[in-house]
Structure 1
Amino acid sequence: MHIKHSWSAVPEDWVSLGHPPPGITIDLYIALKSHRENALRDTLYQVSEPSHPRYGAYLTNEQLAGLIAPHPETLELVNSWLAYQGIPSSSISITHGGDTLTLKDVPITQANALLNASYQLYRHAEHGETIVRTVGYALPVGLHRHVVTVAPTTSFFSPPPPMQWHAPPNGSDEETGELLRAASGEPATQLSNRDNVRSLEPSFLRWLYSTIAYKPAAIDRNSLGIVGFLREYPSPTDLKAFMRKYRSDGWRATYTVTRVNNGGYDPRRPAIEPNLDVQYAMAMTYPTPLIFYSTGFGRSNTGDWFLSFLGYFLRQRNGPKTISTSYCIDEKSYPLEYAINVCNQFGKLGLLGVSVLYATGDDGVGKDCTLSDGTVRFRPTFPATCPYVTAVGATTGFDPEVAADFSGGGFSDYFKIPDYQRQAVTGFFQILGDEYKGLYNATSRGIPDISAQSVGFNIFLNGREKRFDGTSCSTPVVASIIALINDHLISNGRPALGFLNPWLYGSAARSLFDVTSGTNPGCNTDGFSAVPGWDPVTGLGTPLGVFPGLSGLGSSSEGPPL
């Protein structure tokens, strides 16, 4: 046995409660290396690049399984090891598109023996969430080159929503202030910064991002998915109140709830994050079907949030073409191999034609940049740093839009710079020079990719209006715009956008509004600055031009609309 991954100490903010109660079982995911090492990445870029002959030729579930399949020798060796350790074949299944072995209901004592681990119950010091994890695990030496990672093992995380409460100017929860009235097209006030911004109505966002005239036409074939964690749920009653006030033609609107991995649903106890996501997504895309995915943590908190909901999505044949998630955490909180495996799952969704969007967080370049070994580094967030998702930052103001001072951004310490982003990031470094040298990785994936309004979002919560800021606001806004573009494409017999980034950094870049002012301070620095072109504050800019009403939309027979 040789160590696959271990922490030198219990990760920050987690406290051990000792061994879990007797009889607890755990579902283990063993991610296997693909026989064709770069096939996932190469094929994903081909079907996602508008200029490539294979653009839009997304794979079926069966084709995906063939593309990522492990080598027969890998399967033989791993199955032999599991049989030797007494794992019954009846409890083993191939999941996550075809490259993962899922072991159901493994007793903790057997999991300890299998992985030379010491699973214990841990509680998060801040929010009280409990999980079953181990600070280290090992595999037989001969399996290391065949196995990417085993989970859940050393992935200590409970993703907090990047959300900030923002008091209205007069301190009243019900204050809505003057707004840009999209119906008349006349601005009532100029929005300049987060201190004096009044509430943003969905009608303003629909006007600003040119979707107000569009009528969804493929509601029988297109939908938008919102992923929820932390036992947080939306309320249909609050949604109706929100729609009555801000989208009266859709006051009867509702959403579908899908429970993943024993996810719960109690609409009598609504939470901020899912209410915001559902209310704004519905107001912007009505009557496009909206699905809320309540992701559980398994029995006795032994599960894995990411792998459980990703495994579910990869089994679907007619799922949403757009998925929005507003939860994230510091990249360094995850083991490298685990992060790579989760990122690959997002790449698989792209191969199936799904657009995945993630918030970059609300701490600028980082909240606390001193690592456990004493070194100082900016703290980018995951999954936003995964090169197979579209990372969403934050803006505020109007005429022009400027960077919100909390917009999460920076550079990954795990993922190399993808080809689609290389030219854009190189241009930023030519402007940046040596500033902050050593605090980030200059050869890696940069975030965000795109941004949108994020300050002054009113929501209904338990019947009362409250105001919030954050990339939790901008992410469902961008996802809604993508869902509407997908609606137009599908209704005209064309494939959905799928993985967005090759398009965003290519032909769509000239249609985005380039945000060139503002910073994202953090870690006792001023953070990065928004500059002409791409920057790690607002990315390529905001989607002012990607959906210009109905004029010219889809006029080209090749590639997505501009």
Structure 2
Amino acid sequence: MLSFILQVLLFSFILDLAVCAIADPTVSSWKLHEKRSHVPAGWTRAQKHHPSASIPLRIALTQSNIQDIEAFLYDVSHPDSHNYGHHWSPAQIAAKFAPSAESIRTVRSWLIESGVEPHRVKLSPTKAWLEVTSTVEEAENLLNAEYHVYDHESGTKHIACDSYHLPEHVIPHVDFVTPTIHFDAKLRKRRQSIRVPISQPGKSGPKTTGKVQDIFHQLGNCDEQITPICLRALYGLWYEPVAAKANGFGIVEYTPGSYLQSDLDMFAKNFSTGLQGVSPTLVSIDGGVIQTSNENFDNNGESDLDLEYGMTLVTKSQNVTLYQVGDIIEDASFNNFLDALDGTYCTYSGGDDPTQDAVYPDNAAGGYKGKEDCGTVQPTNVISTSYAYNEADLSPAYAIRQCNEYAKLGLMGVTFLYSSGDSGVAGDGGVCLNADGSQSTDGKMFNPSFPGTCPYVTAVGATQVSPGQSVWEPENACEQVIYSGGGFSNYFGMPAYQRTAVEEYITAYPISYPKHVYNSTGSRAFPDISANGANYVTAVDGAFIFIYGTSASSPVVGAILTMVNDARIARGKSPIGFINPAIYSTGFVGGFNDVTNGTNPGCGTLGFNATTGWDPVTGLGTPNFPSLLSKWLVL
């Protein structure tokens, strides 16, 4: 673990280096830029890559002013700021963070001095990336690296190296280079004839325990069955939208995950008013489709859950936007979705890196043949996602760059919610970290999730109404079927907005685990808040079943915050945007129902405890809608 964290610290140091100029680049010494400590599970090194093979090098240029992005975001998000709610336009963001002319010039000059012909060095339209199509031999000489071909158990192949270097004078101008060390993958086994995506996000849930025998519609049964009326009672969500046309709530799904309209109608008939026959507004990204050829829990459970509860809680008056990402063949990654929201995030000519993200047009039979979506989608005010990676699946550089993109969207007034995971302090699938940074089911070190650990999103954990208790009693941390994901990041430092809350927790409830088991150096802590995640009655594939997971918690919180936005917009105010600086502030004390019982086990431990105040199991607690509404309306 020590070596793993040292690598993280080394890269963080590299990212923070000031821009400098070297008078004579030819004498600049080489420095390690990124290194991978292990080959991820499921991959094996097959052979040395052929020297004459073509390889598309893409160099992510350091963004200007990125060191100030947190201050910019706090300026429009902290309730004490005079600029609260004065969100930026996309044009302002593009201008503020575009790489400098010096960075472009320095990296381009290095490439040309190294023998790359000028016509082969291409700058992306957003000026964020330089692209060079080279041979493996040339790339190895440029990066002081050695490329190999790796095989995955699914049949997919991947090109990567163990480490790479850059000249010292170039390092301050480069975030990272692809393809290099990255294995940003959540792969599913499929038929060998179907292409398998490199980087589709994994799902932290949901889980099911099977069919519901008899449905109860009374509040007295919420310890056995969670239905919309239970959630309204738990969180005080009795509200009818009045500014729905000016507001927006988005839910993200990744193909082949998709809802069935018959399931939405079945749920609406039992639990909703006016929603039978109503569909979410589909925004197809990179060929995203509502597929009906594979109907089963794995493909329909997530989407059905998110939409049935999200649409019902915001009522028929408020439209819900479904962002369906990726075609049926190739699928997609978080980056593909972010490209569609912000054109400045696209890598090169509107495309992505084929070693990490889905690339469109998809030339496979049946694939999406259109141009990849790049800055084509208007983000809704609130966006909920119930998919995640383990933080350790990604390199620090890749995670940091994506995290900064969430900050940019927060500057635009978008609230991003991510489920915190369903395996307690362990990663998705119950895997934990080993000392060398690898992941396994017998690992002993806590394994946080991502993007939940990004300080610019709101991570949502899970609670439950425990057996024998009522909705009028405090909830407990979820310990039925799943455990609320939580803990401390290995990549991101602690943001200022949560420092007081986390320090109070650590002081009042000292953590007894050895320092190597979790990151005890003062890092980003999660989750931020939580909501019920157990016993959801959900219509899936024509039957009502029980579903569990932070997958349920995130869209519920999204619906609540969407109603807060409705009330603000109706009064001529801006959406709430990035909420973390506000909810951790003293002015929001009492805005959440404190959760003080339960743990989030994993990695051979009981995990952490839910306690008074913030804790790394349930965060600040569950939403108290009337209280939150009154607090946000005065800002």
Classify the TM-score, shorter chain. 0.7 to 0.9
1:146 has 2:173 as partner: yes
Residues 262 and 166 (structure 1 numbering): CA distance in 2 closer, same or farther, change over 3 Å? closer
- Partner in structure 2 of residue 436 of structure 1: 513
- Retained in 2: the 8 A contact 1:481–1:547? no
Deviation at residue 476 of structure 1 after TM alignment: 0.8
- Partner in structure 2 of residue 526 of structure 1: 606
Task: State how 1:264-279 maps to structure 2 within 5 Å.
Answer: 264-270=289-295, 271=299, 272-279=301-308
- Retained in 1: the 8 A contact 2:565–2:575? yes
Instruction: State the alpha-carbon separation in 2 of the partners of residues 119 and 294 from structure 1.
Output: 34
1:242 has 2:267 as partner: yes
Structure 2 residue runs without a partner (length 5+)? 1-29, 187-200, 344-374, 438-442, 466-470
Instruction: State the alpha-carbon separation in 2 of the partners of residues 474 and 228 from structure 1.
Output: 15
Deviation at residue 129 of structure 1 after TM alignment: 8.1
Instruction: State the alpha-carbon separation in 1 of the partners of residues 155 and 622 from structure 2.
Output: 36
- Partner in structure 1 of residue 124 of structure 2: 93
Deviations 1:308-346 (A, max 9, x none): 211211235742111111111221221111111111111
Instruction: State the alpha-carbon separation in 2 of the partners of residues 131 and 467 from structure 1.
Output: 38
- Partner in structure 2 of residue 412 of structure 1: 489
RMSD, aligned CA: 3.2
The amino acid of 1:208's aligned partner reads: L
Deviation at residue 384 of structure 1 after TM alignment: 0.4
Instruction: State the alpha-carbon separation in 2 of the partners of residues 29 and 260 from structure 1.
Output: 23
- Partner in structure 2 of residue 498 of structure 1: 577
Which sits farther off after the overlay, 480-489 or 42-51? 480-489
- Partner in structure 1 of residue 567 of structure 2: 488
- Partner in structure 1 of residue 326 of structure 2: 296
- Partner in structure 2 of residue 256 of structure 1: 281
1:206 has 2:236 as partner: no
Other structure's SS at 1:54 match: coil
Instruction: State the alpha-carbon separation in 1 of the partners of residues 499 and 506 from structure 2.
Output: 11
Deviations 1:358-410 (A, max 9, x none): 11101111133341538842111111000000000000013111101200010
Q: Percent identity?
A: 33
Instruction: State the alpha-carbon separation in 2 of the partners of residues 35 and 379 from structure 1.
Output: 32
The amino acid of 2:518's aligned partner reads: Y
- Partner in structure 2 of residue 45 of structure 1: 74
Deviation at residue 202 of structure 1 after TM alignment: 1.6
Residues 543 and 281 (structure 1 numbering): CA distance in 2 closer, same or farther, change over 3 Å? same
Instruction: State the alpha-carbon separation in 2 of the partners of residues 267 and 446 from structure 1.
Output: 39
Partner of residue 474 from structure 2, selected from 393, 400, 404: 400
Residues 148 and 217 (structure 1 numbering): CA distance in 2 closer, same or farther, change over 3 Å? same
The amino acid of 1:320's aligned partner reads: T
- Partner in structure 2 of residue 194 of structure 1: none
Deviation at residue 190 of structure 1 after TM alignment: 5.9
Deviations 1:396-432 (A, max 9, x none): 0131111012000100111111100000001110122
- Partner in structure 2 of residue 188 of structure 1: 220
Which sits farther off after the overlay, 368-377 or 55-64? 368-377
Deviation at residue 503 of structure 1 after TM alignment: 0.9
Instruction: State the alpha-carbon separation in 2 of the partners of residues 75 and 503 from structure 1.
Output: 37
Task: State how 1:52-91 maps to structure 2 within 5 Å.
Answer: 52-80=81-109, 85=116
Instruction: State the alpha-carbon separation in 2 of the partners of residues 27 and 307 from structure 1.
Output: 18
Which sits farther off after the overlay, 512-521 or 454-463? 454-463
TM-score normalised over the length of structure 2:
0.76
Deviation at residue 4 of structure 1 after TM alignment: 2.9
The amino acid of 2:313's aligned partner reads: M
Partner of residue 309 from structure 1, selected from 316, 331, 337: 337
TM-score normalised over the length of structure 1:
0.85
Other structure's SS at 1:166 match: strand
Residues 323 and 150 (structure 1 numbering): CA distance in 2 closer, same or farther, change over 3 Å? farther
Partner of residue 178 from structure 1, selected from 216, 228, 253: 216
Task: State how 1:340-379 maps to structure 2 within 5 Å.
Answer: 340-366=400-426, 367-371=430-434, 373=436, 376-379=444-447
- Partner in structure 1 of residue 204 of structure 2: 162
Other structure's SS at 1:225 match: strand
Instruction: State the alpha-carbon separation in 2 of the partners of residues 290 and 110 from structure 1.
Output: 50
Deviation at residue 103 of structure 1 after TM alignment: 4.8
The amino acid of 1:403's aligned partner reads: A
The amino acid of 1:296's aligned partner reads: G
Deviations 1:58-108 (A, max 9, x none): 11111112221222100222344567645867964244xx7x22759x588
Instruction: State the alpha-carbon separation in 1 of the partners of residues 413 and 131 from structure 2.
Output: 28
Deviation at residue 151 of structure 1 after TM alignment: 4.4
Other structure's SS at 1:516 match: coil
Deviation at residue 228 of structure 1 after TM alignment: 2.0
Deviation at residue 479 of structure 1 after TM alignment: 1.0
- Partner in structure 2 of residue 540 of structure 1: 620
- Retained in 2: the 8 A contact 1:297–1:305? no
- Retained in 2: the 8 A contact 1:122–1:133? no
Instruction: State the alpha-carbon separation in 2 of the partners of residues 298 and 111 from structure 1.
Output: 35
1:321 has 2:381 as partner: yes
Deviations 1:36-60 (A, max 9, x none): 2422111001100011011111111
Other structure's SS at 1:358 match: strand
- Partner in structure 1 of residue 22 of structure 2: none
Deviation at residue 235 of structure 1 after TM alignment: 2.1
